[in-house]
Structure 1
Amino acid sequence: MELDRRLLLAHCAAHTLSVVAGLLVVVPMALSGSAFKGRCALFSTGYWRTEDREEPTGQPGDVAHLVVQQWGPPAACQFATFVGIFTVLYGAAQGWRSLFYLHGRHDDTLFSSFLTVLLSVCVLFLSGGASVILSLGLVSWCDTVTDHNSRPYSCAESQSVPLYLDVKTSSFYTELSLAQASLWGVTALWLAQSILAFLRLYHSHSQHISGPCRPREKELLLGYSPSDSGSPTPPHPPATPTIFV
């Protein structure tokens, strides 16, 4: 198995895994957005307030509920969702393309390989930024929900605690933590794709440089050049006899 074929197989596997990881980002983010009625929980700020209202058991008493002062910017959730959608679409297209190249036993051109490297590096930085934003936004929302860890439950346990909001919070931590882990996985896969794309570019460049030189090296080893074989060698003029007096 040649080097380019191994690289194509590895790149195809990376694209397949990126499709799965991208779906694990898009689906939880879509479910979270639906549960929060289009609002973004990331970087949301609020505080806890105790009021005299009827408890879930039906008895009146002091009930603590969460008051959200400001919901997070929608771009924080949309950015992570965009990276996931792009990863799914790009991974599916490039995976099919890699399979086509494997069947046809050829690879990208030198220019196309360079564009693939450039795009992979750009999306690597985008996915890394989206992962950082999602992680910091989830930490900020958890600080708001747990009142900076002053509540007797963790952020994961708070999704089973009534927050008395007008949104569904029964699975927010599961959805956002799954999207966070998957997005970091997408970032790692984009790093792997960037490395593989660079190796394919290097291999294409090596083939492009060494390809025209191989016939010339073969001719030098055989001891003749194309000019020698293409045109006959002109005969030497006959020697003029010398007359001595």
Structure 2
Amino acid sequence: MGIGNILLLSQVTAYVLLFLLSFFIIVPSGVNLNNFDGNCALFATGTWHENKTTRHPYFSVDYWGDQSMCNFTIYIGILSMLVSFIFVVRLSIFLFREDDSSFLGAFLTLVINSFITVLLFSDCLVVTLGFNHFCDQLVKSPGSAISKCEMADLIQWDVDPLIVTSGMVVFFGMTEFGLWMSWITWLCLLIMSTVKIWRYSQHESFLRSMKRERERLFGHYSDQTQII
């Protein structure tokens, strides 16, 4: 096994890590979406009201966030899982054969890594900013009954009885962790792919130089032969 190929071994390890991190994106995102009865809490807005009977404040959601934002998070998690699994299998074969991908394969890997890195970064921003906005609605709105978002499980919600808010903050925290750690890992893989392309280009430049030098020497030898 090509253990000596540190760069290839590092890529395999990173893809395995990405496969595991994808569960931190898909599972909590799906649970939160299911608990909110298909509604997306990202960038949701609401107001606090006072129950005239019990005199206890309750939070009412006025507008839910665009569901496509929550769905996109699940889709990007699935994409990261599938792509990382494919690369784990593919690069493990190269590692076992003590071989490596061609220049074209390394270039395609660079393109795929760049694409997913950009998608993940945009999703990280959407989830982080969207959840922070929702937390601000819970904490900073007039009449708020909580001082921090972690207390959201303890408040009364005037929402559909099918909606379950228990564990909301924990699940969003897991999603953010999975997204940002995945983005950092994809960014590292992007750097590794760039280094591999650079090594290939340097190697090919060296080969072209050797070819030109060989042709020059053979040409000089041929000229001497003709003179003799």
Quick check: TM above 0.5? yes
8 Å CA contact retained: 1:48, 1:147: no
TM norm structure 2: 0.86
Structure 2: gaps (5+ residues): none
Give the count of matched residue pairs: 223
Aligned to 1:58: none
Contact in 2 for aligned 1:66/1:164 (Cα 8 Å): yes
Q: Does 1:73 align with 2:69?
A: no
The alpha-carbon deviation at position 228 of structure 1 amounts to 6.1
Deviation at 1:225, TM superposition (A): 4.0
Q: 1:169 maps to what in 2?
A: 165
Asked if structure 1 preserves the Cα contact closer than 8 Å seen for 2:21 and 2:182, the reply is yes
Residues 234/146 of structure 1: CA separation in 2 closer, same or farther (3 Å cut): closer
From 96, 113, 127, the counterpart of 1:120? 113
What's the offset of the Cα at 1:129? 0.8
- 1:50-129 equivalences in 2 (<5 Å): 50-53=50-53, 61-129=54-122
Within the candidate set 146, 149, 154, 2:148 is matched to 154
Q: Cα RMSD over matched residues?
A: 2.8
Instruction: After TM superposition, give the deviation of residue 213 of structure 1 in Å.
Output: 5.2
| Match of residue 131 from structure 1 | 124
Equivalence for 2:136:
143
Of all paired residues, the percent bearing the same amino acid is 23
The CA distance in 2 between the partners of 1:89 and 1:109, in whole Å, is: 22
Distance 1:216 1:44 in 2: 65
Once residues 154 and 235 of structure 1 are traced to their aligned partners in structure 2, the CA distance between those partners, rounded to angstroms, is 92
Whichever structure has more helix as a proportion of its residues is: 2
TM-score (normalised: structure 1) = 0.80
Give 1 or 2 for the bigger CA radius of gyration. 1
Q: 1:145 to 1:79 in 2, by over 3 A?
A: same
Is 1:187 equivalent to 2:180 in the alignment? no
Partner residue of 2:15? 15
- For structure 1, list consecutive stretches of 5 or more residues without a partner in the other structure: 54-60, 237-245
User: Secondary structure at the residue paired with 1:25?
Assistant: helix
**CA pair 205-64 structure 1, distance change in 2 beyond 3 A:** same
TM-superposed CA distance for 1:112, in Å, is 2.0
